[in-house]
């Protein structure tokens, strides 16, 4: 009986001690300060409400206090052209942008944003990355410079929104256009004068005459951010059917995350790509048909084909610059050859 009492007594003390240890340990885990990241997007606040905020809000809620991402819009912490360097140094932790706009020093920077006629539909981008090998190339190139490439997605097409109507190639000559570096480099051969300004200054620059128009987005974005209020015409011909955009993070900060938060972050980014894909796609059609602000104009196909053919020479020009660029161009050519042969409903030419 005595032995039994001793056993129960000792067992009870052990249980209490274990429970106490658990009680004491719990606050250290549950009360731990959350991991905090600062993420800056290329987009201004009006556009950011669609292209990034829903995904960040969802992630912060799902992280349940373990991690919080503070969202900043275009140029709030650093100018967009300095996004890459700030992320690389750890001044900010993550970025949503295309390679081109954030002045990426990698070999693949020229393909970010709008690489002329490489992507004609929004689904081209995830297919190129996930089935044709671009994902591995991007991951490798950014790993070399201390940055984690998290994910790539397709966004809106690239059209001209202008104050004067564009109905023939000749009309492009001398037009001062806000556009992406690579798109601007390509369009100069048709007389376009590319202009670089802070994103939030564009609307005023069109009003004051500093700009004649914009070749930065599709019609959805023009209406969303106010550019449809200062331009009158929307050219239905585009130089790209889908922008290539990404999420990146400072490599050290990424590696510090526990695996489950990495997975959650990846899922949030993928959901953001899907949201903007259908949001842009639906808006492009609806606003062309029902939008009250912009009049549609077109350059005839037999004239626009000159621009399309010029893109092939531009691809070869880029490919000659380095082996990595040549590899990417070869993948783009292979993909477009398959799509052209596949025909309707995948391609119309």
Query: For the purposes of burial, counting CB atoms within 10 Å of the CB of 185, is it exposed (0-12), middle (13-18) or buried (19 or more)?
Result: middle
Pair of tokens at residue 151: 């994910």
Q: Average pLDDT of each block of 10 consecutive residues along the chain (349 residues)?
A: 45 44 39 90 92 96 97 95 96 96 95 94 94 98 97 92 98 97 96 92 96 97 96 97 95 97 96 92 94 97 96 98 98 95 71
- Confidence at residue 200, expressed as pLDDT on a 0 to 100 scale: 84
Report DSSP state, residue 5: H
Give the span between the Cα atoms of 219 and 227, in whole angstroms: 9
Per DSSP (E only), the strands in the chain are 35-41, 67-72, 94-97, 147-154, 158-162, 176-179, 193-195, 213-217, 233-240, 244-250, 295-297
| pTM of this structure | 0.86
Q: Which residues pair with 179 in a beta bridge?
A: 215
Pair of tokens at residue 98: 């295309």
**What is the phi/psi pair of residue 229, to 5°?**
-80, -20
- Confidence at residue 155, expressed as pLDDT on a 0 to 100 scale: 78
pLDDT, tens digit, for every residue of 305-345? Answer: 999 999 999 999 999 999 999 999 999 999 999 999 998 77
- Confidence at residue 154, expressed as pLDDT on a 0 to 100 scale: 87
Give the span between the Cα atoms of 253 and 276, in whole angstroms: 26
Q: Is 177 left (phi over 0), alpha (psi -120 to 50) or beta?
A: beta
Report DSSP state, residue 260: H
Task: Kindly list the domain boundaries of the chain, sorted by start residue.
Answer: 158-242+291-342
CATH of domain 158-242+291-342: 3.40.190.170
- Confidence at residue 199, expressed as pLDDT on a 0 to 100 scale: 83
């Amino acid at each position: 009986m005595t032995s039994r009492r001793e056993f129960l007594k000792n067992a009870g003390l052990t249980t209490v001690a274990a429970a106490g240890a658990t009680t004491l340990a719990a606050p250290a885990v549950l009360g731990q300060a959350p991991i905090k990241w600062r993420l800056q997007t290329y987009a201004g606040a009006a556009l950011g409400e669609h292209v990034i905020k829903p995904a960040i809000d969802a992630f912060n809620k799902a992280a349940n206090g373990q991690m919080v991402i503070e969202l900043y819009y275009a140029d709030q912490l650093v100018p967009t052209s300095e996004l890459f360097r700030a992320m690389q140094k750890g001044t900010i932790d993550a970025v949503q942008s295309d390679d081109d706009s954030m002045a990426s020093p990698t070999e693949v920077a020229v393909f970010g944003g709008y690489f002329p006629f490489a992507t004609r539909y929004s689904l081209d981008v995830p297919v190129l990355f996930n089935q044709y090998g671009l994902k591995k190339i991007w991951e490798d190139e950014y790993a070399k410079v201390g940055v984690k490439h998290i994910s790539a997605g397709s966004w809106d097409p690239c059209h001209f929104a202008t104050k004067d109507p564009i109905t023939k190639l000749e009309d492009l000559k001398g037009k001062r256009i806000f556009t992406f570096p690579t798109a601007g480099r390509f369009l100069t051969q048709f007389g376009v004068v590319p202009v670089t300004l802070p994103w939030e200054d564009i609307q005023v620059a069109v009003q004051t005459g500093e700009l004649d128009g914009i070749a930065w987005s599709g019609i959805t974005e023009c209406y969303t951010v106010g550019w449809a209020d200062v331009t009158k015409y929307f050219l239905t011909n585009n130089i790209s059917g889908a922008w290539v955009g990404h999420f990146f993070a400072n490599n050290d900060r990424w590696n510090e995350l526990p695996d489950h938060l990495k997975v959650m972050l990846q899922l949030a980014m993928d959901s953001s790509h899907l949201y903007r894909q259908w949001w842009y796609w639906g808006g492009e059609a609806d606003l062309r048909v029902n939008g009250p602000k912009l009049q549609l104009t077109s350059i005839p196909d037999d004239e626009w084909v000159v621009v399309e053919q010029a893109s092939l020479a531009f691809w070869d020009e880029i490919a000659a610059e380095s082996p990595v660029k040549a590899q990417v161009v070869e993948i783009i050519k292979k993909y477009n050859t398959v799509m052209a042969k596949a025909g309707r409903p995948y391609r119309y030419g």
